[in-house]
Amino acid sequence: MRDPDGIALDARTRALVDLALALTRHPGANAAEYIERVRAEGVTDRGLHDAVNVAAYFNYVNRVALGLGVELEPEG
C-alpha cells in the first residue's frame, strides 16, 4: 500500500493505521488521541502494545537499513 491515508478501511483498522502513521511521522507527538481511538474500537491493551511494537520495529529496521545504505535485493 503506497497511500495509507487514502485507502478505505474499517474504523478499527483505520484507528490502528493512523496510530502507526503518527508514531512513524511524528514520534515525539502526543499519541493519546490515537490511543483513545484505538481503544474505542475495542482493541485491548495487549493489542495496543503489539501494534505500537510492530510500528516501532519496522521504523527501527528501516532507519538502520537507510543509515547503513542497505539496498534491497531485486525481486524475482
pLDDT score at 75: 81
Amino acid identity, position 25: R
**Cell triple for 54:** 510492530
Helix (H/G/I), strand (E/B), else coil: 48: helix
- Report whether 20 contacts 8 (CB < 8 A): no
Tens of each residue's pLDDT in the chain, 76 residues = 578 888 899 999 999 999 999 999 998 788 899 999 999 999 999 999 999 999 999 999 999 999 999 998 888 7
